[in-house]
C-alpha cells in the first residue's frame, strides 16, 4: 500500500474536517443546485473533485511548486479565475426568467462539470493548500507520486460526499421554488451573488 495505515488514520479525520468547512467548492455546488437543480449540483461536484485530483497530480510532479514560486504565474491564474466567476454571475442573471414568463433552461451536466472544473483549476489557493497540507502526510522514503494521489483521492472523495449532500438539498429546494417565475428570478440573483462573492474572495485573498 502506498500510504501507511496509521498515516491514513490520521489523515482521514483531518481531511473530513476540511471538507466540512464551508468554502468556495461548497458554495459553488450550492449555487448550481439552487439555480439549476440536483443534477447540475452533482455535475459541479464531480467537476470540482476532478480539478482537485489534477491539482494533486501537478503538485506531486512539482508543477504546483513552480506556480507558487512565481508570483506572476500565480496572479495570472488568480485573475483568470476572478474573471470567469464574474462571467458566471452575469450568466446567472441573464438566465433569470422575464416578468410573466417561466423559462426553464437548465445547463447540461457536461457544461456545468466543465464550469466547475475551470473554476477549481483557476483557483491558485487550491495549489498552495495542497502543497502545504498533503506533504505533512507523505513519507519521503516511499514513492512520492502514489502517496500524493492516494491522499488526494481520499480528500476528493470526502468532498464528493459533503458537497454532494449540500448540492442535493439545494437542488431540491431550487426545483420547488423554480415553479414560480418571481422566485426563480430571486434564485438567479442568489446564484449570481454567490458567484460574485467567490470572485471577490479570490480577488482579495492574500498572496501568502
| pLDDT tens for each residue of the chain, 208 residues long | 678 888 888 899 988 888 888 788 888 898 888 878 889 899 999 999 999 999 999 888 887 777 777 788 778 888 888 888 898 888 777 765 433 333 444 557 889 999 999 999 988 878 888 888 888 888 888 888 899 999 999 999 999 999 999 988 888 776 666 555 666 677 677 778 888 888 888 788 765 5
Q: Is the dihedral of CA 110, 111, 116, 118 positive or negative?
A: positive
For residue 186, tell me if it sits in a domain: yes
Tally of domains in the chain? 1
User: What pLDDT score was predicted for residue 115?
Assistant: 92
Residue ranges making up the domain that contains 153: 36-204
Copy the grid coordinates of residue 72: 506572476
φ and ψ of 166, to 5 deg = -60, -45
User: What pLDDT score was predicted for residue 45?
Assistant: 95
d(CA 134, CA 144): 11
For residue 92, tell me if it sits in a domain: yes
For residue 135, tell me if it sits in a domain: yes
User: What pLDDT score was predicted for residue 126?
Assistant: 85
For residue 17, tell me if it sits in a domain: no
Amino acid at each position: 500500500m502506498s500510504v501507511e495505515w496509521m498515516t491514513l488514520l490520521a489523515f482521514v479525520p483531518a481531511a473530513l474536517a476540511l471538507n466540512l468547512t464551508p468554502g468556495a467548492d461548497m458554495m459553488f455546488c450550492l449555487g448550481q443546485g439552487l439555480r439549476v437543480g440536483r443534477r447540475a449540483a452533482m455535475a459541479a461536484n464531480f467537476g470540482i473533485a476532478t480539478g482537485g485530483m489534477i491539482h494533486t497530480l501537478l503538485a506531486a510532479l512539482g508543477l504546483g511548486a513552480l506556480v507558487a514560486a512565481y508570483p506572476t504565474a500565480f496572479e495570472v491564474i488568480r485573475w483568470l479565475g476572478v474573471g470567469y466567476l464574474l462571467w458566471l454571475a452575469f450568466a446567472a442573471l441573464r438566465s433569470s426568467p422575464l416578468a410573466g414568463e417561466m423559462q426553464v433552461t437548465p445547463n447540461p451536466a457536461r457544461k456545468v462539470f466543465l464550469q466547475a472544473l475551470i473554476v477549481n483549476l483557476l483557483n491558485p489557493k487550491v495549489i498552495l493548500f495542497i502543497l502545504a497540507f498533503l506533504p505533512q502526510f507523505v513519507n519521503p522514503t516511499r514513492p512520492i507520486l502514489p502517496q500524493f494521489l492516494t491522499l488526494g483521492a481520499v480528500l476528493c472523495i470526502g468532498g464528493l460526499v459533503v458537497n454532494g449532500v449540500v448540492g442535493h438539498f439545494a437542488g431540491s429546494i431550487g426545483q420547488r421554488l423554480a415553479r414560480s417565475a418571481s422566485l426563480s428570478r430571486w434564485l438567479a440573483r442568489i446564484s449570481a451573488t454567490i458567484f460574485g462573492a467567490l470572485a471577490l474572495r479570490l480577488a482579495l485573498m492574500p498572496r501568502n
